[in-house]
Each structure stands twice: as C-alpha cells, then as structure tokens.
Amino acid sequence: MSDEIQQQTPTEAYFQDPYLDWAKGEGIPIHLDFGHDLLSLETKAWDRFDARGCFAHTHGRGDFCANYVLEVEAGRKTRPIKHLYEAFFYVLSGFGSTVVTLPDGARQTFEWGPKALFSIPLNCEYQIFNTSGREAARLSCTNDAPLAINHYHNLDFIFANPCTFPDRIGKPNQFQGEGDHGTYIRKAGAGMINVWETNFVSDLTSFKLYDLNTRGKGSRNVFFQLTNGTMHAHTSEIPVGRYKKAHRHAAGTHVHAVSGEGYSLLWYDGDSEFVEIPWRHGFMYTPPFWMFHQHFNTCGEPARYLACSLGSARYPMISLRRVSNEGGGSTSVKQGGRQIEYEDQDPRIHRKFLEAVAKSGATSEMGDVFDEPAIMAIPKDQLVGVIQTPQLKGPAI
C-alpha cells in the first residue's frame, strides 16, 4: 500500500451542472414548476440579449432541452447574438421581425406576429426587433442549451464560436415561410407522417395539417423539420368535442397550447389521482419521463398545440425519439407500444371529460366510442381507484 496521504476532494468538485450554473449567473428569474403560463411570468433585464427574460424550467424537462422567455419592450431590439445550441421561437404576443446574418455575410429578414414559429440556423448571428411602438413582444424559446453547455462546459465555445454550419441554413425562401413537404410511413400501422421543412411558420393556427386518426378520431398533425436541425417540433389539432389518446415518451417535450381551451391529464401507472394542467394559449408544460398524458378539447372550436423536443424526423438523436418517430407513441401498449386505446383507459377519464364539456357549454362528440349515458349513471365513488395500464404484450418500445 502507498504511504501517500489521500486528500479528500471537496464535494462541490463533483455533481456539477454547468447549464444550471449558467442560468443562475444570467441574473434573471428562474421559474420552476410542472408547467407555466408564459404570458404572466415575471421577467427582468437580461444583459446577454439587452432585453428582458426569464427561465421557464419544468420538472419534466429532462437532460437535453429547456425553455426561456424573451421579452422585447415596445420599439426596442435585442443585441446581436449567436450560440452553439438550437433554438425554436414561438411568438406568445406582439409583432416584430428577425434578422439572421448568414456565414457569407448575407442577411435574411422575416416578420412575425402572435403564434408564429421560427428557428435560427445553428450559430448564425441574429437580432430580434419589436416593430410595435406600443406593446412588448414576448417569445418562448425551447432550446437544447442544457445538452450543449453541459457537454462542453465552456461558455466561450457556446457563445463565441467561429464555426459555421452551411448545411443548417436552408433555402432562402424558407425564411419567408415556404418549404418542402415530405412524408414517411410509420411502423406497426401507426399512420403516415407529414413533414414540412422550413425555417419559419407565420401562423400555427392556420397552417395545413393532415389526418392522423391513430392518435384519436379527427386528430390532425404535421411534423416540422426546422433549419435542418436535431430538435423536433410538431403541431396537432384536437377536433371539437373530442380528445387525444393517452401515451408516454421520453422527457423534455415542451407542449405549448396554441388555440382553443381544455386541459391535460398526467399520471404514472399505479397512481390513484391524475395531475391536471389547464391550458389555453400561453400555457406550456413538459410531461416527465414515461408519464402518461392525455389532451382534451373542452371548447367550441378545434384546439391546437405545439410540441418541441430533442430528436427531429431527420436526426432522431436518441433511441426513444426514434421509436416515437417510427410510431411507438401511436401503438397500443397491448402491442408493445406507448398508447392507451380508448377502450382500455381508466373509466374516470371520460366521465371527467363529459363534466368539463357540459360546464363549458360544449358537446361531446365521443358517443361513437363510449356509452355516455351509462358512464354518467355510475356513482362517482365507484370510479375511484388505482390507475392501471393495460397488460403489456410484445416488446416494450
């Protein structure tokens, strides 16, 4: 044995989180909850952007993605910035424009308003302008800064890196909302996915969607491949009087309510109660890893939401995202997938939905699936129990 005296290393030398250290050092509020009303979160001056901002962290954000809110006051602009993490911006309120400087010095400019979606090509310098002289503009930014900062743990590498990525720029017309439409067939009969490749979507409420009935009758969807990146985004629509089937997946999917009103239920297998998240435009939450979740439309118009996470259609990045892209999230748990079919769901779920639409003045359109009079006739105390997932069959995906 060595006679050398072993020195004890301070605990703080281990278990470091460079991303959280960076966030704390930015001097803006860090909000942490299951979800947030992003329109009402407190912001403070953020020197890095010469604007206002806050971090909107969620318990289910996982290891790869996070969210911050950027607020540009009336008539102002951010300072030019670039970074080696991907960033998807969803416009919560206000009107403005973004100028992107490409590696060859050329500039692309596009204008945006509420409910627009855009992505910045990796490590390109950009500047955000508020074109209104009367109201602030507030944008939600879902990003993979945790992945990039924790991996390199060098802020100069992230924010002052000279490397360029010409293959991430996209076609010039994609900054103006044009793009390319593609499709692919999922496995296990989980339906066809439509993919729109672009850099900018001017209005998520009117963008064309495509049928995806495997997630619920009348459900519509489109995937976005933004700036040839490794982050994923999709928009889905829930018809009037209906709701999606429950499913589960990896952590880090930031779900933004875009239009309509309703709620989401979340639970782990074996829970006795559901977690309920009410939503309307401005609300954002992140289902934790492997937690079932289900989205309900309780208003008199179709409801849309935007989901952003790690792993795009082109670059899935992690195995769980690849399986989701292949159809695992739209395949019954009885067949080894991640989705609970209507006939297998907890009986309390539809009863709650019927009560919610009755309260809002809307009408259920789910009578083709459920015997609704019989469900309402069951005494509530007989519906209390433990939430159990139907027995798995086949390989777990």
Tens-place pLDDT, residues 196-210: 999 999 999 999 999
Confidence of residue 397 (pLDDT cuts 50, 70, 90): low
Report d(CA 120, CA 165) in Å as an integer.
12
Residue 395: pLDDT band with limits 50, 70, 90: very low
Angle between helices 18-25 and 145-152 (to 10 degrees): 110
Say how far apart CA 24 and CA 42 lie, in whole Å.
15
Percent of residues, the chain, with pLDDT higher than 70: 96
How far apart (Å, rounded) are the C-alpha atoms in residues 197 and 334?
34
Query: For tokens 């102002």, what's the residue?
Result: 76
Question: In whole angstroms, what is the distance from residue 394 CA to residue 336 CA?
Answer: 5
Q: Which pLDDT does position 380 carry in this prediction?
A: 80
Read off the pLDDT of residues 84-141 as tens digits, 9 standing for 90 and up: 999 999 999 999 999 999 999 999 999 999 999 999 999 999 999 999 999 999 999 9
Q: Indicate the fold that domain 174-340 takes in CATH.
A: Jelly Rolls (2.60.120)
pLDDT band, residue 350 (cuts 50/70/90): very high
- Rounded Cα distance between 131 and 153, Å, is 36
CA distances (Å), origin 90, targets 94, 110, 112, 187, 284: 11, 14, 10, 30, 11
- Scored b (16 or more CB within 10 A) or e, 115-149 reads bbbbbbbbbbbbbbbbbbeeebbbbbbbbbbbbbb
pLDDT band at 5 (very low <50, low <70, confident <90, very high): low
- Please tell me the predicted confidence (pLDDT) of residue 389: 76
Task: Summarize the confidence of residues 249-274 as an average pLDDT.
Answer: 95
Residue 80 pLDDT class (50, 70, 90 cuts): very high
Chain region(s) in the chain for CATH 2.60.120.10 = 16-170, 174-340
Q: What is the pLDDT of residue 187?
A: 77
Tokens 């934790």, located at residue:
288
- Dump the DSSP string for 175-207: GGT--EEEEEEPSTT--EEEEEEESEES-TTTS
Going by C-alpha positions, the residue among 85, 52, 94 that lies closest to residue 69 is 52
| Distances, alpha carbon 76 to alpha carbons 50, 51, 127, 148, in Å | 9, 8, 11, 29
Q: How high is the pLDDT of residue 391?
A: 63
Whose tokens are 């729109």? That residue is: 196
Q: How confident is the model at residue 384 (pLDDT cuts 50, 70, 90)?
A: confident
Instruction: Of 341, 396, 335, 347, give the one whose Cα is nearest residue 376.
Output: 347
The percent of residues above 90 in pLDDT, for the chain, comes to: 86
pLDDT of residue 392: 55
User: In the block, which residue shows the tokens 């259609």?
Assistant: 313
**In this predicted model, what pLDDT tens digit does every residue of 270-313 receive, in sequence order?**
898 999 999 899 999 999 999 999 999 999 999 999 999 999 99
Q: How many CB atoms lie within 10 A of CB 315?
A: 15
pLDDT tens digits for 39-75? 999 999 999 999 999 999 999 999 999 999 999 999 9
User: Could you write out the DSSP letters of every residue in 68-119?
Assistant: EEEEE-TT-BPPPB--SS-EEEEEEE--EEEEEE-TTS-EEEEEE-TT-EEE
Going by pLDDT thresholds of 50, 70 and 90, the confidence category of residue 3 is: low
Task: Return d(Cα 316, Cα 295) in angstroms, integer.
Answer: 24
- Full-model pTM: 0.94
pLDDT tens per residue across span 184-239: 988 767 789 999 999 999 999 999 999 999 999 999 999 999 999 999 999 999 99
Mean pLDDT, residues 381-396: 67
Cα–Cα distance for residue pair 40/283, rounded to 1 Å: 10
The CATH number of domain 16-170 is 1.10.10.10? no
> Residues 6 or more apart from 217 whose CB is under 8 A from it?
239, 242, 368, 369
Q: Provide the CB-side half-sphere exposure for 233 (13 A, CA).
A: 29
CA distance 145 to 76: 25
Residue 4 has pLDDT above 90, yes or no: no
pLDDT of residue 238: 97
